[in-house]
Amino acid sequence: MLRFYFVIIINIFAICYYIPRMRYCVRHKDRYSLEKRFSIAKRIVKIITITGNIRIRSFGTENLPDEGGYVMYGNHQGRFDALAVIQSHDKPFSVVMDLVRSHLPIATEVVDMMDGKRLERNNLRQQVSVIHEITDELKEGKRFLVYPEAGYEDNGNHLQPFHAGAFKCAMRSQCPIVPVVIVDSYKIFTINTLRRVTCKIYYLPPISPSEYQGMTSSDISDMVYQRIQEQLTLVLG
């Protein structure tokens, strides 16, 4: 947690400036497009990475579809995951987060800025409603980042079981699925050091609707899990 507190303290003036600005942008979305809000979020992440001595390396960005909506399904390691993807992703996207964790400092403003969705873990009806919202927005061409593990335990580069229900929105919208592999993100805010930490993001080739046609959500979940695990094994040796 040393780096986390260091970043907060050293950027206290920037935080005091950006939090009110982000809240203003959210209240006036008619004046600030998603593209503009996303660019502000990227600027904030850049400040965090520079002052926190964090390096983000991304691979496979050419695999991201040029047009239309798609869902990125990634492994979840910690608080920095979404920020790493924001920094390495050129186009705006929305993130789906756990309701409780989405209300951490700065996270709540970033989620709102990106038109993110919040899931209540113990409220099935609310989860179904959110999935319907995501499905409709995917059809309109929006992009989403979803964590099918539905949480993290800061346990390193290890996958937790996937929740098949997370893939319903992709199935119903018939959009491409992009497996995303996050490596060493957990180190950023768990290892008590200020030495440089490198987080790697791998965007794997997209899975087209024709490729998963006729499959169940459990089958798709297993397929994405396997591809992410294979890349993790390859990277980690």
Q: 3-state DSSP call for residue 178?
A: strand
User: Where does 2-236 sit in CATH, by number?
Assistant: 3.40.1130.10
Pairing of strands 197-203, 143-146: unpaired
- In single-letter form, the type of residue at position 136 comes to D
Contact 3, 196 (CB under 8 A): no
End-to-end CA distance of the chain: 27
Average pLDDT over residues 173-189: 94
- DSSP conformational letter for 139: H
H/E stretch holding 199: strand 197-203
Average pLDDT, the chain: 91
> Minimal CA–CA distance to 15: which of 26, 5, 30, 1?
5
Q: Can you tell me the distance from the alpha carbon of 186 to that of 47, in angstroms, rounded to the nearest whole number?
A: 19
In this structure, how many other beta carbons lie within 10 angstroms of the beta carbon of residue 217? 19
**Residue 102, token pair as written in the block:** 């989405």
**pLDDT score recorded for residue 147:** 93
Contact 168, 133 (CB under 8 A): no
Q: Can you tell me the distance from the alpha carbon of 211 to that of 9, in angstroms, rounded to the nearest whole number?
A: 48
Angle at 135 between CA 61 and CA 66, to 5 degrees: 25
pLDDT digits 0-9 by tens, 78-87: 888 999 999 9
**pLDDT score recorded for residue 98:** 80
Q: Can you tell me the distance from the alpha carbon of 114 to that of 137, in angstroms, rounded to the nearest whole number?
A: 13
Average pLDDT over residues 69-96: 92
pLDDT digits 0-9 by tens, 30-48: 999 999 999 999 999 999 9
pLDDT digits 0-9 by tens, 130-147: 999 999 999 999 999 999
Q: Whole-model pTM?
A: 0.92
Average pLDDT over residues 79-108: 85
At 154, the pLDDT band (50, 70, 90 cuts) reads low
More confident residue, 154 or 88: 88
Domain ranges within the chain, ordered by starting residue: 2-236
Q: Which residues contact 216 (CB under 8 A, 6 or more apart)?
A: 164
